[in-house]
Amino acid sequence: MLAAGAPQMRYGENTGPVGGVTPPVPTVTAPVGSLYGGSDLQGGNAKLPDVNSDDAEVKNPQLVNGQDADADLGLYLDFNSVEKPEPYRGDYGEGDSGPRTFEYEKLNPDLFAPPATDFGSVPNAVWPLGLSHNRAGYKGKSGWARQQNTAVLPNAKQMAGVDMKLAPNAYRELHWHTAGEWALVLKGCVRLAAIDDESRSFTDDVCEGDVWFFPPGIPHSIQAFDKGVEFLLVFDQGDFDENGTFLISEMFARTPREVLSKNFHSDVDSFKDLPQDELYIFNGTKQPHDIQQQNTTAPGGFLSGNSSYTYHSSQQKAYQVPGGSVKILDPSTFPIAAMFSAALVTIQPGAMREMHWHPTSDEWDYFLQGSARATIYAAPQAGQTFDFTAGDVGYISQADAHYIENTGTDDLIFLEVLQAPKFSDVSVAQWLALTPKQTIVDHLHLPDKLLDSLPREKTILKTGNANLTALAGGGKAYI
């Protein structure tokens, strides 16, 4: 006798009759009935239904704190506080009795019950890497990689991302790209090796919080240390495909043995043990901890200083401001990465990255910890609010105004990457502060008290009330 089936994972859903099916369906041992209905069911032939018999109403919806407040306030709605969220906001919305998975709505409350200030159409701005295909490395539990590019986030035209894990001492095999590769080490440590087109060599060890950059066409290898490594790669091509990388194993496999023998001045038998398949990610021999044992003397010397492919940003002290901290890394201190400018931002509960836009570049974001939301304003009158959690990629087009608000109870940590020779933005608050007051009053009818209090310097972050529904109870959004 067969054992009973294990229960399926449950993420919460509406149950019962739906779409003309009333589960559970009967169990039969042989086919019964017909696959098709008859012509007597066509409109005009069929018996009219009793339109009062089916019910799409949601009885006694359970609302979360702030859900019945003015929809223009756009309060953050914590749908995790109820079992079954409903898409109401103020005087807008209606219950959802149809097919749904509650977990999606709990992760994306501003899509499910958007602020009334949202309007029009904004390109999708979020892709969870947890929904990306996770490609395993070569056999032996060597690692994995998953990617985001325009195939899954079509508006991300300037940049693509890859999250990669290498097992202890595993390699990302020797390779090169047509795109520039910028990377942030998320966990662990790794050894890098490369040469450039001027006969110069490079090796360095980087750990959590450090950055590397390899320009297009520069061949390099990546090997994890004893405790493995996970890192984030950002490429300067939106349609970059991690599976389209140039690999040393494939180059040798696709070259005639006669040519290999002639090129390396070695007997053809030297190549009889070449890999039969690409290595991609594979387990390797433990490297010596003393990097000097792997430094190679190159005719052009060793790459260092402004020519270095690494930047030890883990040793950079963060710039602290009310509401959190920021580290900026751009070509002013890491010149080899000529068009990569990035900020690693930490935002305390209730605070936000101030309203701003980037004048020359799209913005690629990666959320390392916490939860957030952003409303993106796109010309001339569209606006949409998106929600983000750890492992999500965000993408915002050049010049689109936005903020990023911490919607959790812990610090929010995210990476903000630009394709620009310096990290730059336009602060909305500073713009108003440095514009003649009468001009602002004539446009927006704002009170003098507000305009007089605006800072003339960028604040980068804005502090806020950690109670995100304080306005619903007569409180304030700021502190």
Instruction: Please answer whether residues 93 and 344 qualify as being in contact, where contact means their C-beta atoms are separated by less than 8 angstroms.
Output: no
The encoded tokens of residue 335 equal: 């010149």
- The β-bridge partners of 231 are 164, 185
Residue in this structure with the two tokens 């998320």, named with its chain if needed: 186
Give the chain's residues under pLDDT 70: 1-9
Q: What is the largest CA-CA distance in the chain?
A: 89
Residues 6+ apart with CB under 8 A from 435: none
| Annotated binding-site residue? 265 | no
| Annotated binding-site residue? 443 | no
Q: Which residues of the chain form CATH 2.60.120.10?
A: 136-153+160-300, 316-473
Using CA atoms, how far apart are residues 90 and 64, in angstroms rounded to an integer? Answer: 11
| Annotated binding-site residue? 312 | no
Instruction: Please answer whether residues 160 and 237 qualify as being in contact, where contact means their C-beta atoms are separated by less than 8 angstroms.
Output: yes
Residues 6+ apart with CB under 8 A from 405: 76, 347, 351, 352, 353, 372, 373, 374, 464
| Annotated binding-site residue? 405 | no
Q: Which fold has domain 316-473?
A: Jelly Rolls (2.60.120)
- The β-bridge partners of 170 are 283
Q: Cite the active site residues.
A: 416
pLDDT per residue over 404-424, tens digit each? 999 999 999 999 999 999 999
Q: Structure pTM?
A: 0.95
CATH code for the part of the protein at 136-153+160-300: 2.60.120.10
Start-to-end CA span in the chain (Å): 66
| Annotated binding-site residue? 358 | yes
pLDDT per residue over 25-75, tens digit each? 999 999 999 999 999 999 999 999 999 887 899 999 999 999 999 999 999
pLDDT at 6 (0 to 100): 61
pLDDT at 291 (0 to 100): 95
The encoded tokens of residue 227 equal: 């405790």
What 51-57 contacts at long range (C-beta under 8 Å, 24+ apart), as own/partner pairs, is 54/17, 55/97, 56/97, 56/98, 57/95, 57/97
Using CA atoms, how far apart are residues 273 and 250, in angstroms rounded to an integer? Answer: 14
Using CA atoms, how far apart are residues 408 and 89, in angstroms rounded to an integer? Answer: 20
Instruction: Please answer whether residues 227 and 269 qualify as being in contact, where contact means their C-beta atoms are separated by less than 8 angstroms.
Output: no
**How far from chain centre, in Å, is Cα 34?**
48
| Annotated binding-site residue? 133 | no
pLDDT at 479 (0 to 100): 86
pLDDT at 120 (0 to 100): 97
N residues, the chain? 479
Closest alpha carbon to 152 in 239, 279, 210: 239
Using CA atoms, how far apart are residues 111 and 240, in angstroms rounded to an integer? Answer: 28
Strand 461-462 with 181-195, pairing: unpaired
3-state SS, one letter per residue, for the chain: CCCCCCCCCCCCCCCCCECCECCCCCCCCCCCCCCCCCHHHCCCCCCCCCCCCCCCCCCCCCCCCCCCCCHHHCCCCCHHHCCCCCCEECCEECCCCCCCCHHHHHHCHHHHCCCCCCECCCCCCEEEHHHCCCEECCCCCCEEEEEECCCCCCCCCCCEEEEEEECCCEEEEEEECCCCEEEEEEEEEEEEEEECCCCCEEEEEEECCCEEEECCCCCEEEEEEEEEEEEEEEECCCCCCHHHCEEHHHHHHCCCHHHHHHHHCCCHHHHCCCCCCCCCEEECCCCCCCHHHCCCCCCCCECCHHHCCEECHHHCCCEEECCEEEEEECCCCCCCCCCEEEEEEEECCCCEEEEEECCCCCEEEEEEECEEEEEEEECCCEEEEEEEECCEEEEECCCCEEEEEECCCCCEEEEEEEECCCCCCEEHHHHHHCCCHHHHHHHHCCCHHHHHHCCCCCCCEECCCCCCCHHHHCCCCCC
Instruction: Please answer whether residues 385 and 375 qualify as being in contact, where contact means their C-beta atoms are separated by less than 8 angstroms.
Output: yes
